Structures are given as C-alpha cells and as structure tokens.
C-alpha cells in the first residue's frame, strides 16, 4: 500500500478528515463529558469501504492527531491500535459477506450484513481499547468497552449509510476505490475466509462478555487465583484474561 502515492495521500486524507470532522460539529451528548454521538466516529468506517487499508492507517493517525489536540497519554498506543483495527475490519468483512454489492444497503439482507459488519468492527475496536486501558488500570473495561461499542456502532449506523449512498458511487466512478488502486492480492479460499469470520465473531463477542465479567468481578480465571495475581483494579484479570480472545480476533482478521 505504501508504494502507491495515491493511497499514501488517501491515508493522510482519512486521518485529517477524522480529526477535522470532530471539531466543527456539535456533539449529541449521551452522558455529558463522557460519551457522545459524533459524526467523526463514522469516518473510519466510511473511509474503510472506500480506501481499504489506507483507512486503517488513516484512522490510527487521525486518532493520534485527536490526542494531539486534546491531550496525550500511555493509553494512546491502545487507542491507535484499536482505531487501526476499526478502519481495517469493515472492508475485509464486507468483501466476504457483501459479495460484489457496494456497501450502500438497499435490501433487508444487505442491511443485516451491513449492520453485522459495523457491529463486529465497533466491538473489535471496543475490545482492544477497553482491554488496554483496563490493563493500564485507567478505566474499567465494563465502563469504557461498552461505551466505545455503543458510540462507534450507533454513530456509524446513523451516518455511514447516508454518506456512503452519496460518496461511494462517485468514488467508484472516479476509479479511486482501493481495489482500483491496489494490485489484486492472492485470495484465500472462501472456506478459510469464512473460518476467519467465525473466529473473529466468536473472539470479539466472547471477549466483550468476558471483559465485562472480568472487570466487574463476576469471573476470575482460576490460574490467576492460584498464582496470587488478583488485583483490586482488575488490571491483571482483564489484562491476562482477554489475551486469548484478542489473539483469536487478530488471527480471524488475518484469515479474512
């Protein structure tokens, strides 16, 4: 991807759009100061359907720019990684379950597949950022993970279909979609890709449930109890307990 000048520029465009859309649009508060619906949360998803891997890098860099604007911390490493995956997952999932259809749903089946794609991408982002910040002991997974999932899923479901309906056909006509710009990659068999999707779905959904149980103290892996690694902030429990889910999710995404 980095060899293609257009995709390098699209990466920068995705990143700066993500940061720029944050500022002039007033947010719709859910919990004032903690959670809000923002059109910007839909930008990585929209860019993912248009520019593929460039959107993933763009989302990570855009998140970094947002942190430059609002304050930095060690948690940004997880924020950038989570946003990278949030930009990477939608186009990979849609390539498999969307068939040759554009990501502008019109039928009930297309809407269901579209919603599933956005839910899985939002949950993957929530899992990584919730895990990372609880591992550092900053915010419990049960608070942040669920908020990020809700925020990303609702924002992208509200804004992405409306914007894609207008933008996608124009970008496709200009032959600027990622599959127009990137050389065709060797495709894996459909069976492998569907196994990847199944793995990703199980890991992400299981990880979200496990993260909530671990963070709220309803579940502690017996290995941690035996080794005396229990912590009051549940940092070790969430940090170690979610590692298998994260590894499976990344493997699933790689197989897609």
Partner 1 sequence: MALFLYLDHRTFVHRRHPLVKVAALLLFFVSAFVMEHPLFILPLSASVAALILWTKSTPTLQRIRVLFLFIAIFPVLIWSVFYRNGTPFPTLPFLPITQEGALYGLGMAAKLGTFLATGALFLSTTRIEEFAYAFTLLGLPYRISFTLTLAFRLVPLFLESAVTVVQAQRCRGLDINSGPLFQRLRHYVLVLIPVFMGALRRADQMSIALEVRGFNSGRPRSSFQRAPWTGADTLAVIAVLAVTALYLSLWSAGYGRIRSL
In the block, tokens 């597949």 appear at 113
Q: Measured from the CB of residue 48, what is the shortest distance to partner 1 in angstroms?
A: 14
177 makes contact with partner 1 (CB under 8 A): no
- 44, 52, 62, 145: residue in contact with partner 1 (rule CB under 8 A): 62
Task: Determine contact, residues 91/182, Cβ cutoff 8 Å.
Answer: no
Q: Measured from the CB of residue 97, what is the shortest distance to partner 1 in angstroms?
A: 25
Half-sphere exposure of residue 234, counting CA atoms within 13 Å on the CB side?
A: 24
Q: Which two tokens stand for residue 40?
A: 């910007």
Q: Measured from the CB of residue 12, what is the shortest distance to partner 1 in angstroms?
A: 4
Q: Which helix (H) or strand (E) holds 35?
A: strand 35-37
- 44, 52, 53, 58: residue in contact with partner 1 (rule CB under 8 A): 58
Output 4 or 251, the one with its CB closest to partner 1. Answer: 4
In the block, tokens 């060899």 appear at 3
Q: Judging by beta carbons within 10 Å of its beta carbon (0-12, 13-18, 19+), is residue 157 exposed, middle or buried? A: middle
What crossing angle do the helices spanning 43-51 and 5-22 adopt, rounded to 10°?
Answer: 170
140 makes contact with partner 1 (CB under 8 A): yes
Q: Which two tokens stand for residue 125?
A: 């982002």
Mark 182-221 with x for binding to partner 1 (rule: CB under 8 A) and - for no binding.
---------------------------------xxx----
Residue 218 Cα distances to 40, 116, 222, angstroms:
35, 28, 12
97 makes contact with partner 1 (CB under 8 A): no
Task: Determine contact, residues 79/67, Cβ cutoff 8 Å.
Answer: yes
Q: Which residues contact 247 (CB under 8 A, 6 or more apart)?
A: none
- 109, 112, 169, 170: residue in contact with partner 1 (rule CB under 8 A): 170
64 makes contact with partner 1 (CB under 8 A): yes
146 makes contact with partner 1 (CB under 8 A): no
Q: Measured from the CB of residue 253, what is the shortest distance to partner 1 in angstroms?
A: 21
Q: Which two tokens stand for residue 172?
A: 């496709």
DSSP annotation of 36 reads E
225 makes contact with partner 1 (CB under 8 A): no
- 35, 67, 115, 246: residue in contact with partner 1 (rule CB under 8 A): 67
Contacting residues toward partner 1, per CB under 8 A: 2-3, 5-6, 8-13, 15-17, 19-21, 23-26, 28, 33-34, 39, 46, 57-58, 61-62, 64-65, 67-74, 136-140, 142-143, 158-159, 162-163, 166-167, 170-171, 174, 176, 215-217, 232-234
């Amino acid at each position: 991807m980095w060899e293609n000048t257009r995709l390098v520029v699209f990466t920068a465009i995705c990143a700066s759009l993500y940061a720029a859309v944050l500022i002039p649009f007033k947010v719709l508060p859910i919990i004032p100061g903690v959670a809000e619906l923002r059109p910007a949360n839909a930008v990585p998803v929209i860019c993912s359907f248009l520019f593929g891997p460039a959107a993933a890098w763009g989302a990570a860099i855009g998140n970094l720019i947002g942190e430059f604007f609002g304050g930095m911390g060690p948690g940004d490493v997880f924020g950038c990684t989570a946003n990278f995956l949030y930009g990477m997952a939608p186009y990979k999932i849609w390539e498999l379950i969307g068939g040759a259809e554009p990501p502008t749903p019109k039928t009930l089946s297309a809407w269901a597949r579209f919603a599933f794609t956005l839910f899985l991408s939002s949950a993957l982002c929530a899992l990584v950022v919730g895990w990372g910040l609880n591992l550092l002991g900053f915010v419990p997974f049960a608070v942040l993970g669920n908020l990020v999932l809700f925020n990303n899923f609702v924002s992208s479901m509200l804004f992405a279909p409306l914007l894609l309906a207008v933008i996608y056909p124009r970008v496709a006509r200009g032959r600027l979609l990622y599959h127009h710009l990137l050389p065709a990659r060797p495709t894996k068999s459909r069976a492998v890709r569907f196994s990847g999707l199944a793995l990703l779905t199980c890991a992400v959904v299981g990880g979200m449930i496990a993260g909530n149980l671990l963070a709220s103290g309803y579940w502690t892996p017996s290995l941690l109890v035996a080794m005396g690694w229990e912590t009051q902030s549940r940092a070790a429990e969430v940090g170690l307990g979610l590692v298998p889910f994260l590894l499976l999710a990344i493997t699933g995404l790689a197989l897609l």
